[in-house]
Amino acid sequence: MKLAEITNYLESIAPLNYQEEYDNSGLIVGDPNMEIRAALVALDCVEKVVDEAINTGCNLIITHHPIVFKGLKKLNGKNYVERVVLKAIRNNIALYAIHTNLDSVHTGVNARICERLGLTGVKVLSPKAGILKKLVTYCPHAQAEQLRSALFYAGAGNIGNYSECSFNAEGFGTFKGNESSDPFVGEKGVQHRESEVRIEMVYPVQAERKILVALFENHPYEEIAYDIYKLENKHEMVGSGMVGWLEYDMDGYDFLHLVKDRMQAKVVRHTDLITKRIKKVAVCGGSGSFLLKEAIAAGADAFITADFKYHEFFDAEEKIVIADIGHFETEQFTSNLLLEIIQKKFTNFAIRLTEQNTNPINYLF
Protein backbone atom coordinates (compact mmCIF):
# COMPACT_ATOMS: atom_id res chain seq x y z
CA MET A 1 0.00 0.00 0.00
CA LYS A 2 1.26 3.50 -0.82
CA LEU A 3 1.97 5.78 2.13
CA ALA A 4 -0.22 8.50 0.59
CA GLU A 5 -3.23 6.18 0.69
CA ILE A 6 -2.93 5.92 4.48
CA THR A 7 -2.14 9.57 5.14
CA ASN A 8 -4.89 10.82 2.83
CA TYR A 9 -7.40 8.74 4.74
CA LEU A 10 -6.19 9.99 8.12
CA GLU A 11 -6.40 13.56 6.86
CA SER A 12 -9.95 12.97 5.68
CA ILE A 13 -10.76 12.13 9.32
CA ALA A 14 -8.64 14.89 10.87
CA PRO A 15 -7.74 17.53 8.22
CA LEU A 16 -4.37 19.20 8.65
CA ASN A 17 -5.92 22.68 8.66
CA TYR A 18 -7.64 21.78 11.95
CA GLN A 19 -4.30 21.73 13.76
CA GLU A 20 -3.12 24.63 15.91
CA GLU A 21 -0.62 27.13 14.47
CA TYR A 22 2.23 25.89 16.67
CA ASP A 23 1.72 22.26 15.64
CA ASN A 24 3.54 20.12 13.08
CA SER A 25 1.10 17.36 12.19
CA GLY A 26 1.37 15.45 8.94
CA LEU A 27 4.12 13.55 7.15
CA ILE A 28 7.43 14.41 8.83
CA VAL A 29 9.72 11.83 7.23
CA GLY A 30 9.04 9.76 4.13
CA ASP A 31 8.03 9.70 0.47
CA PRO A 32 4.25 9.67 -0.12
CA ASN A 33 4.80 7.14 -2.92
CA MET A 34 6.78 4.65 -0.83
CA GLU A 35 5.28 1.19 -0.27
CA ILE A 36 4.27 0.52 3.32
CA ARG A 37 4.65 -3.04 4.60
CA ALA A 38 3.41 -2.53 8.14
CA ALA A 39 2.81 0.31 10.60
CA LEU A 40 3.51 0.87 14.27
CA VAL A 41 1.26 3.18 16.34
CA ALA A 42 2.48 5.05 19.42
CA LEU A 43 1.80 8.18 21.42
CA ASP A 44 5.38 9.46 21.04
CA CYS A 45 8.11 8.79 18.52
CA VAL A 46 11.21 8.15 20.62
CA GLU A 47 14.30 6.06 19.85
CA LYS A 48 13.01 2.85 21.42
CA VAL A 49 9.86 3.09 19.28
CA VAL A 50 11.97 3.38 16.12
CA ASP A 51 14.01 0.38 17.29
CA GLU A 52 10.78 -1.56 17.77
CA ALA A 53 9.67 -0.63 14.25
CA ILE A 54 12.98 -1.90 12.87
CA ASN A 55 12.74 -5.16 14.82
CA THR A 56 9.13 -5.82 13.79
CA GLY A 57 9.50 -4.90 10.11
CA CYS A 58 7.35 -1.75 10.27
CA ASN A 59 8.37 1.01 7.86
CA LEU A 60 5.76 3.52 9.06
CA ILE A 61 5.36 4.97 12.55
CA ILE A 62 2.14 6.84 13.27
CA THR A 63 2.15 8.91 16.46
CA HIS A 64 -0.03 11.46 18.15
CA HIS A 65 2.84 13.79 19.10
CA PRO A 66 5.12 15.07 16.29
CA ILE A 67 8.78 14.30 16.84
CA VAL A 68 9.63 17.65 15.22
CA PHE A 69 7.87 20.69 16.66
CA LYS A 70 10.39 23.37 15.75
CA GLY A 71 12.51 23.70 12.65
CA LEU A 72 15.65 21.59 12.52
CA LYS A 73 18.67 23.56 11.38
CA LYS A 74 21.12 20.68 11.75
CA LEU A 75 20.94 16.89 11.80
CA ASN A 76 23.98 15.63 13.71
CA GLY A 77 22.34 13.51 16.40
CA LYS A 78 23.06 15.84 19.34
CA ASN A 79 19.58 15.30 20.87
CA TYR A 80 16.84 12.68 20.82
CA VAL A 81 14.84 14.49 18.14
CA GLU A 82 17.73 14.49 15.69
CA ARG A 83 18.65 10.91 16.56
CA VAL A 84 15.10 9.70 15.91
CA VAL A 85 14.89 11.48 12.55
CA LEU A 86 18.32 10.22 11.47
CA LYS A 87 17.53 6.64 12.48
CA ALA A 88 14.21 6.74 10.65
CA ILE A 89 15.84 8.05 7.46
CA ARG A 90 18.67 5.51 7.61
CA ASN A 91 16.17 2.67 7.94
CA ASN A 92 13.70 4.04 5.38
CA ILE A 93 10.95 4.43 7.99
CA ALA A 94 8.26 7.06 7.45
CA LEU A 95 7.13 9.19 10.40
CA TYR A 96 3.62 10.60 10.52
CA ALA A 97 1.95 12.64 13.30
CA ILE A 98 -1.73 13.36 13.85
CA HIS A 99 -1.81 15.73 16.81
CA THR A 100 -4.04 18.76 17.47
CA ASN A 101 -6.04 18.04 14.33
CA LEU A 102 -7.10 14.75 15.95
CA ASP A 103 -7.73 16.64 19.20
CA SER A 104 -10.08 18.98 17.34
CA VAL A 105 -12.45 16.56 15.61
CA HIS A 106 -15.71 15.43 17.19
CA THR A 107 -14.66 11.77 17.09
CA GLY A 108 -11.07 12.32 18.23
CA VAL A 109 -9.00 12.32 21.40
CA ASN A 110 -11.48 14.15 23.60
CA ALA A 111 -14.35 11.97 22.45
CA ARG A 112 -12.38 8.92 23.61
CA ILE A 113 -11.91 10.51 27.05
CA CYS A 114 -15.65 11.23 27.25
CA GLU A 115 -16.35 7.64 26.28
CA ARG A 116 -14.13 6.26 29.04
CA LEU A 117 -15.79 8.54 31.61
CA GLY A 118 -19.25 7.57 30.42
CA LEU A 119 -20.27 11.10 29.43
CA THR A 120 -23.36 11.61 27.29
CA GLY A 121 -24.72 14.54 25.29
CA VAL A 122 -21.16 15.59 24.49
CA LYS A 123 -20.25 18.62 22.39
CA VAL A 124 -17.13 20.60 21.55
CA LEU A 125 -16.17 22.92 24.40
CA SER A 126 -14.50 25.65 22.33
CA PRO A 127 -15.55 25.47 18.65
CA LYS A 128 -13.05 26.65 16.05
CA ALA A 129 -13.71 29.68 13.83
CA GLY A 130 -12.23 30.53 10.43
CA ILE A 131 -12.56 27.07 8.86
CA LEU A 132 -15.86 27.56 7.04
CA LYS A 133 -16.69 29.33 3.78
CA LYS A 134 -19.83 29.90 1.74
CA LEU A 135 -20.26 29.39 -1.99
CA VAL A 136 -22.92 31.40 -3.84
CA THR A 137 -23.63 30.70 -7.49
CA TYR A 138 -26.43 31.22 -10.04
CA CYS A 139 -27.69 28.44 -12.27
CA PRO A 140 -30.56 27.96 -14.77
CA HIS A 141 -33.52 26.05 -13.32
CA ALA A 142 -33.12 23.03 -15.55
CA GLN A 143 -29.54 22.35 -14.44
CA ALA A 144 -29.83 23.45 -10.78
CA GLU A 145 -30.60 20.00 -9.36
CA GLN A 146 -27.64 18.40 -11.09
CA LEU A 147 -25.34 21.16 -9.88
CA ARG A 148 -26.60 20.93 -6.30
CA SER A 149 -26.06 17.17 -6.27
CA ALA A 150 -22.51 17.54 -7.58
CA LEU A 151 -21.66 20.17 -4.97
CA PHE A 152 -23.11 18.02 -2.19
CA TYR A 153 -21.06 15.05 -3.39
CA ALA A 154 -17.91 17.21 -3.37
CA GLY A 155 -18.40 18.08 0.30
CA ALA A 156 -20.54 21.21 0.38
CA GLY A 157 -23.70 21.62 2.43
CA ASN A 158 -22.71 19.73 5.60
CA ILE A 159 -23.74 21.53 8.79
CA GLY A 160 -23.37 19.62 12.06
CA ASN A 161 -25.46 16.45 11.91
CA TYR A 162 -27.13 17.52 8.66
CA SER A 163 -26.01 17.06 5.06
CA GLU A 164 -27.22 18.39 1.68
CA CYS A 165 -28.00 21.79 3.21
CA SER A 166 -28.52 24.67 0.78
CA PHE A 167 -30.48 27.88 0.34
CA ASN A 168 -32.15 28.53 -3.02
CA ALA A 169 -33.82 31.71 -4.25
CA GLU A 170 -35.62 32.47 -7.51
CA GLY A 171 -34.54 35.35 -9.76
CA PHE A 172 -33.20 36.15 -13.18
CA GLY A 173 -29.83 37.01 -14.61
CA THR A 174 -28.88 39.07 -17.64
CA PHE A 175 -25.89 38.83 -19.94
CA LYS A 176 -24.79 39.73 -23.46
CA GLY A 177 -22.00 37.82 -25.12
CA ASN A 178 -19.51 39.38 -27.52
CA GLU A 179 -18.42 37.90 -30.86
CA SER A 180 -15.92 35.58 -29.14
CA SER A 181 -18.51 34.14 -26.79
CA ASP A 182 -20.30 30.81 -27.04
CA PRO A 183 -23.40 31.29 -24.87
CA PHE A 184 -25.22 28.25 -23.47
CA VAL A 185 -28.51 30.11 -23.99
CA GLY A 186 -29.28 33.28 -25.95
CA GLU A 187 -27.50 34.83 -28.91
CA LYS A 188 -24.22 36.68 -29.36
CA GLY A 189 -24.56 40.45 -29.16
CA VAL A 190 -28.08 40.32 -27.72
CA GLN A 191 -28.87 40.81 -24.06
CA HIS A 192 -30.45 37.65 -22.68
CA ARG A 193 -32.60 37.30 -19.56
CA GLU A 194 -32.60 33.86 -17.94
CA SER A 195 -34.59 32.58 -14.98
CA GLU A 196 -32.00 31.32 -12.49
CA VAL A 197 -31.67 29.85 -9.02
CA ARG A 198 -29.32 31.44 -6.52
CA ILE A 199 -27.66 28.52 -4.69
CA GLU A 200 -25.86 29.01 -1.37
CA MET A 201 -23.87 26.33 0.47
CA VAL A 202 -21.50 26.30 3.43
CA TYR A 203 -18.39 24.14 3.19
CA PRO A 204 -15.14 23.41 5.10
CA VAL A 205 -12.14 25.20 3.61
CA GLN A 206 -10.21 21.97 2.96
CA ALA A 207 -12.92 20.86 0.51
CA GLU A 208 -12.70 24.02 -1.63
CA ARG A 209 -10.70 22.57 -4.52
CA LYS A 210 -13.08 19.61 -5.00
CA ILE A 211 -16.10 21.88 -4.72
CA LEU A 212 -14.82 24.34 -7.32
CA VAL A 213 -13.99 21.47 -9.67
CA ALA A 214 -17.56 20.20 -9.25
CA LEU A 215 -18.88 23.71 -9.91
CA PHE A 216 -16.87 24.17 -13.12
CA GLU A 217 -17.65 20.68 -14.43
CA ASN A 218 -21.40 20.76 -13.77
CA HIS A 219 -22.41 24.37 -14.37
CA PRO A 220 -23.68 24.85 -17.94
CA TYR A 221 -22.51 28.43 -18.48
CA GLU A 222 -19.35 29.38 -20.34
CA GLU A 223 -18.68 32.11 -17.76
CA ILE A 224 -19.79 31.06 -14.28
CA ALA A 225 -20.87 33.71 -11.79
CA TYR A 226 -19.96 32.66 -8.26
CA ASP A 227 -18.87 34.24 -4.97
CA ILE A 228 -16.89 32.78 -2.07
CA TYR A 229 -17.31 34.25 1.41
CA LYS A 230 -15.07 33.59 4.37
CA LEU A 231 -17.26 32.96 7.42
CA GLU A 232 -16.52 33.86 11.01
CA ASN A 233 -19.08 31.29 12.18
CA LYS A 234 -17.67 28.68 14.53
CA HIS A 235 -17.69 25.07 13.41
CA GLU A 236 -19.63 23.41 16.23
CA MET A 237 -18.21 19.96 15.42
CA VAL A 238 -14.55 21.05 15.44
CA GLY A 239 -12.52 22.64 18.21
CA SER A 240 -10.78 22.25 21.55
CA GLY A 241 -12.01 20.16 24.46
CA MET A 242 -15.42 18.59 25.00
CA VAL A 243 -18.15 18.80 27.60
CA GLY A 244 -20.83 16.31 28.54
CA TRP A 245 -22.92 14.82 31.33
CA LEU A 246 -22.41 11.96 33.75
CA GLU A 247 -25.21 9.41 33.89
CA TYR A 248 -25.93 10.58 37.44
CA ASP A 249 -24.50 13.24 39.74
CA MET A 250 -21.68 12.20 42.06
CA ASP A 251 -19.95 13.25 45.23
CA GLY A 252 -16.69 15.05 44.44
CA TYR A 253 -14.34 12.42 45.88
CA ASP A 254 -16.31 9.57 44.31
CA PHE A 255 -15.98 11.35 40.97
CA LEU A 256 -12.22 11.80 41.34
CA HIS A 257 -11.83 8.11 42.14
CA LEU A 258 -13.91 7.30 39.05
CA VAL A 259 -11.60 9.48 36.93
CA LYS A 260 -8.47 7.89 38.41
CA ASP A 261 -9.82 4.42 37.72
CA ARG A 262 -11.31 4.96 34.25
CA MET A 263 -8.31 6.96 33.01
CA GLN A 264 -5.75 4.67 34.68
CA ALA A 265 -4.08 7.67 36.28
CA LYS A 266 -1.31 7.24 38.85
CA VAL A 267 -2.21 10.47 40.64
CA VAL A 268 -4.86 13.19 40.43
CA ARG A 269 -3.89 16.75 41.29
CA HIS A 270 -7.05 18.66 42.05
CA THR A 271 -8.44 21.84 43.55
CA ASP A 272 -10.73 21.99 46.57
CA LEU A 273 -14.04 20.30 45.97
CA ILE A 274 -17.03 22.55 45.38
CA THR A 275 -20.22 22.26 47.43
CA LYS A 276 -22.39 21.02 44.55
CA ARG A 277 -22.25 17.47 43.25
CA ILE A 278 -20.51 16.65 39.96
CA LYS A 279 -22.76 16.18 36.95
CA LYS A 280 -21.46 18.21 33.99
CA VAL A 281 -17.84 17.54 33.05
CA ALA A 282 -15.39 19.23 30.66
CA VAL A 283 -12.34 17.42 29.31
CA CYS A 284 -9.26 18.23 27.25
CA GLY A 285 -6.54 15.78 26.29
CA GLY A 286 -3.04 17.09 26.90
CA SER A 287 -2.37 20.64 28.08
CA GLY A 288 -5.80 22.16 28.64
CA SER A 289 -5.41 24.99 31.12
CA PHE A 290 -6.19 27.50 28.36
CA LEU A 291 -9.76 26.19 28.33
CA LEU A 292 -10.56 26.80 32.01
CA LYS A 293 -12.68 29.90 31.33
CA GLU A 294 -14.63 28.06 28.65
CA ALA A 295 -15.23 25.13 31.01
CA ILE A 296 -16.58 27.49 33.69
CA ALA A 297 -18.70 29.37 31.14
CA ALA A 298 -20.17 26.06 29.94
CA GLY A 299 -21.36 25.37 33.49
CA ALA A 300 -19.07 22.38 34.02
CA ASP A 301 -18.71 21.16 37.59
CA ALA A 302 -15.32 19.58 36.87
CA PHE A 303 -12.56 19.92 34.28
CA ILE A 304 -10.32 16.93 33.47
CA THR A 305 -7.04 17.75 31.73
CA ALA A 306 -3.28 18.08 32.34
CA ASP A 307 -0.31 20.40 32.76
CA PHE A 308 -1.89 23.01 35.03
CA LYS A 309 0.71 25.27 36.63
CA TYR A 310 0.62 26.05 40.35
CA HIS A 311 -0.93 29.51 40.11
CA GLU A 312 -3.46 28.40 37.51
CA PHE A 313 -5.20 26.19 40.09
CA PHE A 314 -6.25 29.36 41.93
CA ASP A 315 -8.24 30.41 38.85
CA ALA A 316 -10.87 27.78 39.64
CA GLU A 317 -12.12 30.18 42.37
CA GLU A 318 -14.39 27.48 43.83
CA LYS A 319 -16.51 27.54 40.67
CA ILE A 320 -15.21 24.25 39.29
CA VAL A 321 -13.05 21.30 40.28
CA ILE A 322 -9.83 21.09 38.28
CA ALA A 323 -8.49 17.53 38.03
CA ASP A 324 -5.01 17.32 36.47
CA ILE A 325 -4.33 13.66 35.79
CA GLY A 326 -1.18 14.01 33.66
CA HIS A 327 -0.46 14.62 29.99
CA PHE A 328 0.32 11.01 29.12
CA GLU A 329 -2.67 9.78 31.09
CA THR A 330 -5.18 11.94 29.20
CA GLU A 331 -3.84 10.78 25.84
CA GLN A 332 -2.70 7.20 26.45
CA PHE A 333 -5.80 5.76 24.75
CA THR A 334 -5.18 7.73 21.56
CA SER A 335 -3.04 4.93 20.11
CA ASN A 336 -5.98 2.53 20.41
CA LEU A 337 -8.21 5.11 18.73
CA LEU A 338 -5.80 5.42 15.80
CA LEU A 339 -5.54 1.65 15.49
CA GLU A 340 -9.34 1.38 15.30
CA ILE A 341 -9.60 4.19 12.74
CA ILE A 342 -7.05 2.58 10.42
CA GLN A 343 -8.29 -1.00 10.82
CA LYS A 344 -11.84 0.07 10.03
CA LYS A 345 -10.69 1.32 6.63
CA PHE A 346 -7.81 -1.05 5.85
CA THR A 347 -8.98 -4.38 7.25
CA ASN A 348 -6.05 -6.45 5.97
CA PHE A 349 -3.29 -3.93 6.67
CA ALA A 350 -0.54 -5.01 9.07
CA ILE A 351 -0.64 -2.55 11.95
CA ARG A 352 0.30 -2.91 15.61
CA LEU A 353 0.44 -0.94 18.85
CA THR A 354 3.83 -0.21 20.35
CA GLU A 355 4.88 -2.22 23.37
CA GLN A 356 6.91 0.72 24.65
CA ASN A 357 5.76 2.99 27.49
CA THR A 358 6.77 6.43 26.25
CA ASN A 359 5.67 8.39 29.34
CA PRO A 360 8.77 10.41 30.35
CA ILE A 361 7.36 10.96 33.87
CA ASN A 362 7.86 8.48 36.70
CA TYR A 363 6.02 8.50 40.04
CA LEU A 364 7.33 7.74 43.52
CA PHE A 365 4.55 6.61 45.90
List binding-site positions for a divalent metal cation.
64-65, 103, 327, 331
Q: What angle do CA 228, 233, 236 make, to 5 degrees?
A: 125
**Contact (Cβ atoms closer than 8 angstroms) between residue 204 and residue 15:** yes
Helices (H), 63-119: 80-90, 100-104, 109-117
Distance CA 295, CA 122 (A): 13
Q: At how many degrees (to 10) do helices 141-154 and 208-218 cross?
A: 150
Give the CA distances from residue 166 to residues 131, 160, 162, 293, in Å, rounded to whole numbers and listed in that order: 18, 13, 11, 35
Strand order in the sheet with 132-140: 167-175, 192-204, 132-140, 226-231
User: In what order do the strands lie in the sheet containing 60-63?
Assistant: 26-29, 94-97, 60-63, 39-42, 351-353
Cβ-Cβ contacts under 8 Å for 26 (sequence gap 6 or more):
7, 11, 16, 96, 97
Side by side, which strands form the sheet with 302-306? 120-129, 234-250, 278-287, 302-306, 321-324, 269-270
User: What's the sign of the alpha-carbon dihedral 344, 346, 350, 354?
Assistant: negative
Distance CA 139, CA 142 (A): 8
Annotated binding site: 64-65, 103, 327, 331
CA distance 236 to 160: 7
- The sign of the torsion formed by the CA atoms of 282, 109, 211, 139 equals negative
